[in-house]
Amino acid sequence: MKLGDARSGKLRDNITGFGRALRRAGVPVDSSRIAMAIEAIELVGIERKDDLHAALRAVLVSRQQDLEVFDQLFDALFRNPELAQQLLAQMLPKVRQAEAPKRKARVQEALAAARAPKEGPRKESEIQLDAAMTASDQQRLRHADFATLNASEFRLIERLVRDVPLPLPPVRGRRTRAGVRGQRPHWAAAMQQARRFEGELLWLPKRARRPQALPLLVLVDVSGSMERYARLLLAFLHNATQGRPRAAFAFGTDLTDLRPAFRQRDTDHMLDMANAAIADFAGGTRLGASLATLRERHARTLVGRRTVVVLISDGLDTGEPDALNSEVLWLKRHCRQLLWLNPLLRFDGYAPLASGAKVLHEHADGMLAVHNLSRLEDLAQAMARLMQR
Amino acid sequence: MVEPVSGFATIDELTHALKGVGYHAPRQLATSVFLAMKLQRPLLLEGEPGVGKTELAKALSKVLARPMLRLQCYDGMEQREALYEWNHTAQLLHMRAAQDTVTADEIEREVYQPRYLIRRPLLQALQAPAPGAVLLIDEVDRADEPFEAFLLEYLGEYQVTIPELGTIKAEAAPITILTSNRTRDLNDAVKRRCLYQWMDYPERERELAIVQSQVPEAGPALTEQITQFVSRLRSMPFANAFQRSPGIAESVEWAKALVALDTLTLDPEVVQDTAGILFKQREDVAALIPLIDELLQPEPA
């Protein structure tokens, strides 16, 4: 692409086009940025391609993950505009056949209930979460759709969220506000008081530390044996922790980022997105490798050492126990508390014999049974109790 | 706002001047700095620890002969630590002293004078006389989100509002450098107000030049060995073995330590003894030891 003379307006068009191309490729570029880019080009000149490149990059990109896209697009556009078109076409999401909007399971059930039922009642309409482990059930669950809650489950969750708030305790943050039992004097308030009483200070107002919600990191095992629990726990946690800082990841053979899904308000939407995102449903579990990925790519989701990590897994790990050990230790060192929710605890005389379970048992700050989701109250209370420590 | 922030007409001039104070900036970085000065925009530097983000601000303050003001961010930082605070004790004393002679209104006017203002780095930077200051907002990712929101007015307009005194606008826009180690993502609103530069580990020649200029005593042979060793450490497949690769700062420290130990060439023993300078984690030091021999082998041509 020839840039042309800065005064002729050709440059302006080209930069604008480039900005739009970036936007189409998913890089957030607004028009003020494009205006600034034109200004920047006028400053550095167009004699050197590398300066042009650096200038545009400094102005138009603001995330490390976009740098690669920028570089490729820059090369393509300023060498061969046609190539750029192809490249863009590849980067754009494939146009999907418009599908008729699928009704959610709970809507479908609601509609179906109005008609006379032809068969017997569906097995799933009864809450039999505890019976997830028989062989035939496992087979069924493997093919169960993770994405939608059926009506009874939804009612369960709704009721639990209403009746069972998850009372995660706040901690005292570093920021302060006026308070009665603070440690530091609140001089500004003292001044106001002195102004009112002719320079007299009758008592000394204090600053107290402001309570702060603990950030939550949910790591959920989506291997075959965990699927059913994972779904309901995700739904519960998604609902019960609205409005506090949180992040969620799923792991099976690989780690999946569920944060975009968790940003949805509607729990069904969240499950939909999670379902689409998780590629390794009902595969094996490689807990160690997944935690390593978490450390390498997402270590910054752990806020200071304040984050409470909730690890939902049965500990039936197929990876290396040594690797798992060091990863769990790392995680424990970087969080405030590591809670392990384990469905296998329901069996009497359960002992953490599997290698993965042994490691988790050794390092987790607390271990809770999640086998009986209909009594989620107990879980919520136990979690809150553990975190209070 | 008074004009000139930059004394440099071209990127080359800037690069050269930075080199003069021992900072070897790659062209891309120099371009960003040049633009940040010309466009009067803050520059956000992201990258691993120890790649020279903070050093850049120091070097700029030297070549421009401007004072450097540094705001070190931390979790829970509040406006009064960053911007200003009233000297309440002095105010109270003044109040008591003046109580009998003047009216309450007058006292109030008197105690909210700039002389009772304790200026913190951000305000100092705004009020620095021309040509202005270099302001370093270091590790902004450590501060929390409310603090970021507070920074927006400052970063966008180079002004702040103090209720008792009104809006204070910069006489000369400070050259503002923000650094982040990416312990968390910054707010988009902050990023939108800044130019952005990702800083990578240096190329080998650049690191060689840096170590040479910072630790000239090391001599060319040892310097060459050090930079080769470190750059191989950071490259595949070795880098995967460690949780964190050493930065430039570590290479320089290492060179200094080796000089202090009278080392002439690297050998497995000396590397093992000084591994604690390159890596700050026990696991990483342990991971290094079995790799030393392989790392010390001459590179295949």
pLDDT value for B34: 94
Same domain (yes/no): A40, A178: no
Query: Domain ranges in chain B?
Result: 11-79+121-199, 84-119, 204-293
Same domain (yes/no): A196, A238: no
CB-CB under 8 Å, B39 with A43: yes
Q: Is B11-79+121-199 CATH 3.40.50.300? A: yes
Half-sphere exposure for A100 (CA within 13 Å, toward CB): 1
pLDDT value for B13: 92
CB-CB under 8 Å, B35 with A59: yes
Q: Does A40 touch chain B (CB under 8 A)?
A: yes
CB-CB under 8 Å, B194 with A62: yes
- Starting at the edge strand that comes first in sequence, how are the strands of the sheet with A246-251 ordered? A255-257, A246-251, A216-221, A308-312, A337-342, A366-369
* Sign, Cα dihedral of B236, B242, B246, B247: positive
pLDDT value for B256: 93
Question: What average pLDDT does the segment B223-249 reach?
Answer: 86
pLDDT in tens, A157-176: 666 655 566 777 777 777 88
Question: Three-class SS of residue A336?
Answer: coil
| pLDDT above 50: residue B2 | no
pLDDT value for A157: 63
pLDDT value for A297: 80
pLDDT in tens, B11-27: 999 999 999 998 999 99
Chain B: residue whose CA lies nearest to A38: B39
Chain B: residue whose CA lies nearest to A174: B76
How many CB contacts within 8 angstroms connect chain A with chain B? 106
pLDDT value for A312: 86
pLDDT in tens, A169-220: 777 777 888 877 778 888 888 888 887 777 777 888 888 888 888 888 989 8
Average pLDDT, chain A: 73
Same domain (yes/no): A191, A327: no
pLDDT value for A196: 79
Nearest CB to B88; choose among A54, A58, A187: A187
Same domain (yes/no): A226, A357: yes
Residue A15, in any domain of the structure: yes
Confidence of residue A283 (pLDDT cuts 50, 70, 90): low
Nearest-CA distance A359 → chain B (Å)? 18
CB-CB under 8 Å, A194 with B92: yes
Same domain (yes/no): A281, A188: no
pLDDT value for A281: 63
Of A75-79, A153-157, A170-174, B9-13, which one has max mean pLDDT?
A: B9-13
Residue A146, in any domain of the structure: no
Interface confidence, given as ipTM, is: 0.74
Portion of chain B with pLDDT greater than 70, in percent? 97
Tell me B197's DSSP state: E
Confidence of residue A126 (pLDDT cuts 50, 70, 90): very low
Question: What average pLDDT does the segment A87-110 reach?
Answer: 51
Residue A40, in any domain of the structure: yes
pLDDT in tens, A287-315: 888 888 888 888 777 777 788 888 888 87
Burial class (CB in 10 A: 0-12, 13-18, 19+), A158: middle
Cα dist. B253→B24, B216, B266, B275, B288 in Å?
17, 13, 15, 11, 18
Q: Which residue has the higher pLDDT, A345 or B39?
A: B39
Which residues in chain A are contacts of B188 at CB distance < 8 A? 28, 62
Of A112-116, A162-166, A205-209, B224-228, which one has max mean pLDDT?
A: B224-228
Q: How many angstroms separate the most distant Cα atoms in chain A?
A: 85
Task: Please give the Cα distance from B29 to B41 (Å, whole number).
Answer: 15
Which residues in chain A are contacts of B194 at CB distance < 8 A? 62
Nearest-CA distance B185 → chain A (Å)? 8
Same domain (yes/no): A227, A305: yes
Residue A305, in any domain of the structure: yes
Residue A75, in any domain of the structure: yes
Burial class (CB in 10 A: 0-12, 13-18, 19+), B293: exposed
Q: Does A177 touch chain B (CB under 8 A)?
A: no
Same domain (yes/no): A49, A100: yes
pLDDT value for A92: 52
pLDDT value for B253: 92
pLDDT value for B139: 92
Same domain (yes/no): A207, A220: no
Same domain (yes/no): A238, A261: yes
Q: Does A351 touch chain B (CB under 8 A)?
A: no
Nearest CB to B78; choose among A33, A61, A175: A175
Q: Which residue has the higher pLDDT, B258 or A176?
A: B258
Nearest CB to A304; choose among B44, B75, B104: B75
Confidence of residue A282 (pLDDT cuts 50, 70, 90): low
| pLDDT above 70: residue A278 | yes
Give the least confident one: A224-238, B197-211, B272-286: A224-238
CB-CB under 8 Å, B39 with A40: yes
**For residue B159, what are its two tokens?**
């002004």
CB-CB under 8 Å, B195 with A195: no
CB-CB under 8 Å, A61 with B95: no
pLDDT in tens, B153-175: 889 889 888 888 888 898 888 99
> Taking Cα atoms as reference points, which of A103, A100, A154 lies closest to residue A125?
A154
Chosen from A38, A41, A51 to mutate, greatest number of chain B CBs within 10 A: A51
Question: What average pLDDT does the segment B207-221 reach?
Answer: 90
Task: Please give the Cα distance from B238 to B180 (Å, whole number).
Answer: 25
pLDDT value for A177: 82
pLDDT value for A96: 42
pLDDT value for A144: 40
Q: Is the peptide bond before A211 cis (omega within 30 degrees of 0)?
A: no
Same domain (yes/no): A297, A381: yes
> Domain total for chain A?
3
Same domain (yes/no): A308, A330: yes
Of A16-20, B99-103, B235-239, which one has max mean pLDDT?
A: A16-20
Nearest CB to A40; choose among B35, B144, B182: B35
Say which CATH number the domain at A253 has: 3.40.50.410
Confidence of residue A130 (pLDDT cuts 50, 70, 90): very low
Same domain (yes/no): A354, A222: yes
Question: What average pLDDT does the segment A353-362 reach?
Answer: 80
Give the least confident one: A274-283, B178-187, B191-200: A274-283
Confidence of residue B119 (pLDDT cuts 50, 70, 90): very high
Q: Does A206 touch chain B (CB under 8 A)?
A: no
- Full residue range of the structural domain in which residue A326 is found: 216-388
Task: Please give the Cα distance from A254 to A280 (Å, whole number).
Answer: 7
Nearest-CA distance B219 → chain A (Å)? 33
CB-CB under 8 Å, A58 with B35: yes
Which residues in chain A are contacts of B91 at CB distance < 8 A? 191
CB-CB under 8 Å, A33 with B192: yes
Nearest-CA distance A135 → chain B (Å)? 41
Portion of chain A with pLDDT greater than 70, in percent? 70
| pLDDT above 70: residue A128 | no
pLDDT value for A277: 81
